[in-house]
Structure 1
C-alpha cells in the first residue's frame, strides 16, 4: 500500500472586490460580507464565524497569498485547488487571484483548477441547472430574467480559446500534475453534453504543447463518461447522498435549518463505495454551514469537533492510500460562507490545521506495512451504491437516464415558450442536411421539430432497423453511412459511447441533441 499522499484543499477566490459583485450583491461585496452578516439561528449555532485577529484579507494582495502558502507549508497541506469560473463567450469571473499567482513566481503555492461550470442565476430564474451565489437579501435583486452568467460551451473554437487561457497555468512549474498531465477537476460532468468531445480535443492540444495530456476528474459524477480519468466524491455533499454512501442519514430541523450530525456524516464517508471500473478519490471536509448564504433555508452540521476531524481524516487517508490514490482532497481551505475552512478562526484558532499536521506526521512515521480491512473502510467494487448489489447500480443508472431526459424536455419546453426552433442551432453551424441517430421518443420529437424548416433529414440510424417512419430511410449503425453535414444523436444518455464509435466511421460532425438544447 502507498505510504505517501498529497493533501489538496479546495480554494475559493471570492475574497476581493469585483465590478460584478458590486452590481449583483451590493457595493463592496465579497465572501466576507456573507460571513459577517451571518445570523445565529438556533441554540448552539456557531455564527458568525470570524477569522483570527480579524484577518479579513484581500486576495489581490500578495502578502495574503504568501501567508496562505506559508500556512500550507507549515501544517502539511500540499496544494490548493482553485475554483475556476469560465462561462459563455469566454466570460471569466473571480479569475484575478489565480492570474496574480501565475505572475508571483516566488509564492510557493502548488495549485490546480476545479472548473465550476454551472450557470449563475437568481433563484427565480428559469434556468434549471444553476448556482445561486447569495440568496439572503433578495430585495437587492434587479429586474430581468435572473441570469447572471450563463454556461455555454460552444464548439472547437470556444474549446480552443478556453484551453489557450488555461495553458500558461498548466505549464507553470507549481501546477499539480500526474505523469506531466495537469490535474483538472470538472464540477458538473453529468450535464455537460460535449464533455467527451471537448476533453478529447483538449488532450490533442495538450500533446502539441508537450504536456502528457490532461488528468480529468469529475466531481460527484453519477456516471462514468469516456474521457474521465476518475471521479472525486467531494465531501460533504457526496456523503449525505444515500446512493453514494448506501446509508440514509437522519437530519433534524432547527428553526428551519437542516442539521446533520458531524460524526454521522464522517461515518458515511468510510462506508461509501467506489465507482465500478473507475478510479475513485474520496474527499474529506472540515465542517459545513451555508446559512451565511442561504439563511434559514440552509444546511448546517452540529456537534462538529476537531478530534473527530483528525480521527476520520487519518482513516480517510488510509482509505485513499489503499486505493493507490495520489491525492486526498479536503473541502476546504477558505469557504467561510459555507463553514468549510482550515484557516484559523477566533473559536478554534489553528486547531484544524494542527489536526491536519498530526495526520500527515502519523502517515509519515507509519513505516510498517499496515493491512487495511477493505470492508472496514468501505472499499468495494460494485459501483454506486456502496455495499448494495449491482442491480441497484443499474436502477441508479436508469434513474439518471430519466432525470436527464426530464431536464432536456424541460429545456425544450422553455425554448418552445420562447418560439425558438432547434433548427436555429443547425443553421448557425451550417448543418442543413443531417442524419438522426436514435428514433426513440426524443428522436421522433426531433423529427417533428424540423418539419417546415430548412433542415433536411436524409436518413436515420437505429439499432432496430424494422422501425418505420414515413419518408425516412433507417440504417443500421454498422452500415455504410452516406455523407451529411452532421449526425445528431438523440440517445443522449450514452452519447459519449456512441460518439466514440461514430467518429471511427465518419469524418463529419457528430453532435448531441442535449448540446443543441443547451447551447441554443
Structure 2
C-alpha cells in the first residue's frame, strides 16, 4: 500500500456512508434481522431476595479492584482518575449500540469505602455467587490497586470467599498488555518470584481464601510471559511450604493462545472468554455505524457463547468460564472491540452448560468443581454482573436461576451409571414445572405396580427431587437446557442402549405454550402411549411378537415427510447424513417426538455428541434438534426395523 492510500477502515466507513445514503434515496430499509423472540421480553429486572442455595458447582466472578483513585493513576491519567471516568463518557458507535453502561444499586462507587465491598458480597451471595477472583497487580515489588484488597483482608464483614489472579503483564496505555507506551513493566526473576509469594502469604492464610484439595488457588493471567515458568512454579510451591501452607494449586488462564497447563507444571487451566478474539466472525456489516471515526471490531455474543459451549473436551483439567456482554468502548471509543446481541437467555444457557459439564466431569473431584464468570465489575469492558439501567438485576437473576437448578440439597448430583431392573423403561425429560406432576400421574396410571425402569433427565434439581419423592427407584440425571428434549434423550440413550430392554417409551414435558391447544396436543401424544395398563400391554405385546418392530408412534403424529416441512432443516439433515451415514428418507416423521422404541433401532444416536448442539434460540425451526427429530424413523428403518402406529 502506498503512503498516500487511505487506511482500510477509512474506506470501510466511506463505503458504509455511501451505501446508507443510496438505501435512503431508494427507500430501501435495512435487512430484516432474525429475531430471538425470547429476547423481546428481556427488560429491566427488579431486585429480589432469593433463598440460599448450595450448588454442586461453585461460581466465582472475576473482580476488578480499580474503582478508587491512587497516585499512579493520578500521574498517568489525571487527578482523581478511575475506571468510572471512562465508563461515564462512552458513546454509541452504531445505531442501537448500548453505551454508556450506567450502574445502579451502588452507583459510581468508591472502593476505598469498605461498606461498598460489604454490600457487593451480600448482593453476590443473594444471587448464588460463591466467591470473587480478584485481579492482583504486582510489578517487581510494587503493588497497585491493593487498597480495596487490604481493607477486605482486614474486615471479616466482607463475607465472601476469594482467590487471586496475578495480572502479570506490562501495564500500558493500550490496556491490552502490548508493549506500547509502558506505564509500569514486569521484571521477572527468582528473587521477585519469592517476594511475590511471600507477599501473598497473608491472603492465602485467610479463612475466606478459596482452597482446592486444601491448597490455596493462585491463577496466573499470562503464564507464558514468565521465563522458565515451570521452575518458577516449583519455587512458589516450596516457598508456600516454608510459609506453613500445604502447597499451592496453580492455574493458568487461557488467554493469549494459552491452552494446556502442562507446559507450565500447573494443576489446571481456566477459560477467559472472549479470548481468543481472532476466531470470531465480523458482524460490522450488519450495523449502521454512527461514529465516523470508528476503526474497531464488531463481533456477535451468540458466536462466542456457541463456540465455548460446542468446544470439544480438552485432555486436561480446565475450569470453564462464561462472560456477560463484552464491549470496551469506554476504554477505546473509536477502536473498541464489541460483542453485540447479548441476551440474558444466551448467558444463562452458557452458564448452565458450564455448571452441568463441570458437575459431570470425571477428571474433577468435588473440591475442583468451580466455574467462573467474566466479570463482576468490568464496567469499562461492558461485562458486569452488577446491575445497570438496562437489565437491572437481570444478569444476577439469570445467574441465580442457573445455579438454583444445580442445588445439591435436592440430592440430584452426578452418580453411578444407570442400571436395568425391568424389561420395560420410560425415558422422561422434565423441563416445564407445571407439567411434572401430570406426567408422573400418567406413568402411575400406566404402571400401577411400578414394574418399569424410570430414567429421568431434568433441567432443574427440584424436578428431579419431585420424581424421587414419587418414584424412589427412578434414576435421574441433571442436564442443561439445550437441545430441547433431544440432547437430553441422546445423553439418556447413551446410558441405556445396551442394557437389554424389550422396549422403551420416550416422553417429555411438551408444553407448547405458544399454542392454545398445547394441553390437548400433549394428551393426544400421551394417551396412545401411556393411557392405561391395557395400552402399555398392547404395545409390549407387539414388540414381543414382532422382533423387527422398531418404533410405535401415536397415529395422528406419524406424518408424511416432505421437502416443504423439511425446508428449514436441509443443511442439518445433510450434516446428520454425514455424521451417521444414513440419508433422510422423506418417508415420515414422528411429530412431537414421543414414541415407543426398541433400543437397537436408534443406534445412530450414538454418533452424536453434546458439542454438536447449538444454544436454544427461541422457537425458531432449523436447528440440529429439529433435524434429529425428523431422522428418527429413517434411522430405525436403516437399522432394519419397521415403524408403525399405535
Q: Structures share a fold, TM > 0.5?
A: yes
Counterpart position of 1:198: 232
Counterpart position of 1:152: 187
Counterpart position of 1:308: 346
Counterpart position of 1:493: none
- Equivalent residue in structure 1 for 2:357, among 296, 315, 319: 319
- Equivalent residue in structure 2 for 1:60, among 112, 115, 139: 112
Cα distance in 2 for partners of 1:347, 1:107 equals: 28
- Equivalent residue in structure 2 for 1:299, among 327, 334, 337: 337
Q: How does 1:183-222 map to 2 (within 5 A)?
A: 183-220=217-254, 221-222=258-259
Cα distance in 1 for partners of 2:164, 2:104 equals: 27
In structure 2, list runs of 5 or more residues that go unmatched: 1-53, 411-460, 465-475, 480-487, 492-607, 614-646
Cα drift, residue 129 of structure 1 = 5.5
3-state secondary structure, aligned to 2:223: coil
Cα distance in 1 for partners of 2:155, 2:267 equals: 30
Partner deviation per Cα, 1:211-231 (whole Å, 9 max, x = no partner): 221111111124532421111
Q: Does structure 1 conserve the Cα–Cα contact (< 8 Å) formed by 2:169 and 2:222?
A: yes
Counterpart position of 1:349: 392
Q: How does 1:358-373 map to 2 (within 5 A)?
A: 358-364=401-407, 365=410, 366=461, 367=464, 368-370=476-478, 373=491
Cα drift, residue 35 of structure 1 = 0.2
> 1:195/1:310 Cα in 2 relative to 1: closer, same or farther (>3 Å)?
same
Partner deviation per Cα, 1:161-205 (whole Å, 9 max, x = no partner): 111110000000000001221111101112221311111011112
Counterpart position of 1:4: 56
> 1:355/1:123 Cα in 2 relative to 1: closer, same or farther (>3 Å)?
closer
Counterpart position of 2:178: 130
Structure 1 segments of 4 or more deviating over 4 A? 371-374
Cα drift, residue 258 of structure 1 = 1.3
Cα drift, residue 27 of structure 1 = 1.1
Q: How does 1:279-298 map to 2 (within 5 A)?
A: 279-298=317-336
Counterpart position of 1:505: none
1:262 aligns with 2:301: yes
Partner deviation per Cα, 1:125-155 (whole Å, 9 max, x = no partner): xxx96377xxxxxxxxxxxxx3311101111
Cα distance in 1 for partners of 2:612, 2:75 equals: 47
Q: Does structure 1 conserve the Cα–Cα contact (< 8 Å) formed by 2:319 and 2:371?
A: yes
Cα distance in 2 for partners of 1:207, 1:40 equals: 51
Counterpart position of 1:114: 165
> 1:294/1:109 Cα in 2 relative to 1: closer, same or farther (>3 Å)?
same
Cα drift, residue 274 of structure 1 = 4.0
> 1:213/1:377 Cα in 2 relative to 1: closer, same or farther (>3 Å)?
farther
3-state secondary structure, aligned to 2:319: strand
> 1:122/1:262 Cα in 2 relative to 1: closer, same or farther (>3 Å)?
closer
Larger RCO, structures 1/2 (Cα 8 Å, 6+ apart): 1
Partner deviation per Cα, 1:409-466 (whole Å, 9 max, x = no partner): xxxxxxxxxxxxxxxxxxxxxxxxxxxxxxxxxxxxxxxxxxxxxxxxxxxxxxxxxx
Counterpart position of 1:251: 283
> 1:183/1:158 Cα in 2 relative to 1: closer, same or farther (>3 Å)?
same
- Equivalent residue in structure 1 for 2:134, among 82, 106, 121: 82
Q: How does 1:271-286 map to 2 (within 5 A)?
A: 271-276=310-315, 278-286=316-324
Counterpart position of 1:407: none
Q: Does structure 1 conserve the Cα–Cα contact (< 8 Å) formed by 2:55 and 2:403?
A: no
The normalised TM-score by structure 1 is 0.64
1:46 aligns with 2:98: yes
> 1:279/1:153 Cα in 2 relative to 1: closer, same or farther (>3 Å)?
same
Cα drift, residue 232 of structure 1 = 1.1
Q: Does structure 2 conserve the Cα–Cα contact (< 8 Å) formed by 1:53 and 1:346?
A: no
Cα drift, residue 123 of structure 1 = 4.7
Cα drift, residue 241 of structure 1 = 4.9
3-state secondary structure, aligned to 1:297: coil
Cα drift, residue 158 of structure 1 = 2.0
Q: Does structure 1 conserve the Cα–Cα contact (< 8 Å) formed by 2:188 and 2:227?
A: no
Q: Does structure 2 conserve the Cα–Cα contact (< 8 Å) formed by 1:272 and 1:378?
A: no
In structure 1, list runs of 5 or more residues that go unmatched: 133-145, 243-247, 380-520
- Equivalent residue in structure 1 for 2:201, among 156, 167, 170: 167
Cα distance in 2 for partners of 1:109, 1:219 equals: 22
> 1:76/1:129 Cα in 2 relative to 1: closer, same or farther (>3 Å)?
closer
Cα distance in 1 for partners of 2:329, 2:55 equals: 38
Q: Does structure 2 conserve the Cα–Cα contact (< 8 Å) formed by 1:289 and 1:298?
A: yes
> 1:129/1:53 Cα in 2 relative to 1: closer, same or farther (>3 Å)?
closer
Cα drift, residue 96 of structure 1 = 1.0
Cα drift, residue 210 of structure 1 = 3.2
Partner deviation per Cα, 1:477-501 (whole Å, 9 max, x = no partner): xxxxxxxxxxxxxxxxxxxxxxxxx
Q: Does structure 2 conserve the Cα–Cα contact (< 8 Å) formed by 1:181 and 1:214?
A: yes
> 1:97/1:342 Cα in 2 relative to 1: closer, same or farther (>3 Å)?
same
The normalised TM-score by structure 2 is 0.52
Query: Superposition RMSD on alpha carbons, in Å?
Result: 2.3
Cα distance in 2 for partners of 1:122, 1:342 equals: 26
Cα drift, residue 105 of structure 1 = 1.8
Cα distance in 2 for partners of 1:359, 1:29 equals: 36
1:32 aligns with 2:84: yes
Cα distance in 2 for partners of 1:60, 1:161 equals: 26
Cα drift, residue 298 of structure 1 = 1.0
> 1:22/1:173 Cα in 2 relative to 1: closer, same or farther (>3 Å)?
same
